[in-house]
Amino acid sequence: MAKLRKEFSKGIIAENPVLRLVLGTCPTLATTTSVESALGMGLAASIVLVCSNIVISALRKVIPDKVRIPAYIVVIASFVTIVQMAVKAFLPSLDEQLGVYLPLIVVNCIILGRAEAFAGKNPVLASAFDGLGMGVGFTAALFLMGAVREIFGAGTFLGTGVPFLESNPMLIFILPPGGFFVYGILMAAVNRLAEKKGKPRAELRGCEACPMAQSCALKNADKEGVN
Q: What is the pLDDT of residues 131-179, one digit of tens each?
A: 999 999 999 999 999 999 999 998 999 878 888 787 888 999 999 999 9
H/E run at residue 188: helix 176-196
Residues with Cβ within 8 Å of residue 199, at least 6 apart in sequence: 14
* Tally of structural domains, the chain: 1
**CA 49 to CA 41: how far, in whole Å?**
12
**CA 125 to CA 58: how far, in whole Å?**
10
- In three-state secondary structure terms, 160 is strand
Q: Of 36 and 191, which is predicted with more confidence?
A: 36
The average pLDDT across 97-119 equals: 92
**pLDDT more than 90, % of the chain:** 62
pLDDT value at 13 more than 90: no
Q: What is the pLDDT of residue 38?
A: 96
Q: How far is CA 43 from the centre of its chain?
A: 10
pLDDT (tens digit per residue) in 30-61? 999 999 999 999 999 999 999 999 999 999 99
Query: How does the average pLDDT of the chain come out, rounded?
Result: 87
Range of the domain at 76: 2-224
Q: What is the pLDDT of residue 197?
A: 75
Q: What is the pLDDT of residue 47?
A: 97
pTM exceeds 0.75? yes
